[in-house]
């Protein structure tokens, strides 16, 4: 039995190219290293995943020796790595473009000096100055006053007390149900 297996390995080594045997040996050794770790369930580290992604690109028979994970998983890792690479390569900033500090300070100053101006008015004034900003951007950097822009009822009544005092709220209904 041992003689047959040795003979088989000898014939196989003559037929199969050396690089294929080396790749297969590397793949099997890497899986053994993962399985020999002192963990109940083998945990694949980032370097293990990287190894399989690289091996899948260099060796076409990598699926035959893969035992501890599914080949679809290795392909998924490769796709994730590809996405990460192109995200880094394109280096596109995420989110809204940054607003210059001068424009932010101008919005704050306009809203502080003109507390009755709302967001659309500030946006219109900025557009006249040559800054085309969204309404949400102006609202984000606008300073909100502590008091409401319109007067309260208490202030209204205090300001118009004399005019209100001149009005008579007392009515008398007559027998014919008319008001005096």
DSSP string, 96-140: SPPPPHHHHHHHHHHHHH-TT--HHHHHHHHHHTT----HHHHHH
Domains of the chain by residue range: 16-90, 101-155
pLDDT(56) > 70: yes
User: What integer pLDDT is reported at residue 41 of this predicted model?
Assistant: 67
**Residues making up the chain, counted from first to last:** 180
| CB of 174 closer than 8 Å to CB of 165 | no
| CB of 51 closer than 8 Å to CB of 23 | no
Residue predicted with more confidence, 60 or 121 = 121
Cα-to-chain-centroid distance, residue 168: 64
d(C-alpha 111, C-alpha 134), whole Å: 16
What whole-number percentage of the chain has pLDDT above 70?
Answer: 83
User: What integer pLDDT is reported at residue 106 of this predicted model?
Assistant: 92
pLDDT(132) > 80: yes
User: What integer pLDDT is reported at residue 166 of this predicted model?
Assistant: 58
pLDDT(107) > 80: yes
pLDDT in tens, 145-172: 666 667 888 888 888 878 775 555 677 7
pLDDT(137) > 80: yes
User: What integer pLDDT is reported at residue 98 of this predicted model?
Assistant: 82
pLDDT(105) > 90: yes
């Amino acid at each position: 039995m041992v003689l047959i297996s040795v003979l088989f390995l000898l014939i196989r080594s003559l037929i199969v190219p050396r690089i294929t045997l080396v790749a297969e040996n590397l793949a099997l050794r890497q899986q053994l290293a993962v399985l020999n770790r002192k963990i109940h369930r083998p945990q694949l580290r980032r370097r293990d995943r990287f190894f399989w992604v690289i091996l899948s690109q260099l060796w076409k028979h990598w699926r035959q020796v893969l035992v501890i994970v599914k080949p679809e998983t290795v392909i998924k890792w490769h796709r994730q790595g590809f996405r990460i690479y192109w995200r880094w390569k394109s280096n596109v900033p995420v989110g809204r473009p940054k607003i210059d500090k001068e424009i932010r300070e101008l919005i704050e100053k306009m809203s502080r000096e003109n507390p009755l101006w709302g967001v659309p008015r500030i946006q219109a004034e900025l557009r006249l100055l040559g800054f085309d900003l969204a309404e949400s951007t102006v609202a984000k950097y606008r300073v909100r006053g502590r008091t409401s822009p319109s007067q309260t009822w208490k202030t209204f009544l205090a300001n118009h007390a004399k005019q209100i005092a001149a009005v008579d709220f007392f009515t008398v209904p007559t027998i014919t149900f008319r008001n005096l």
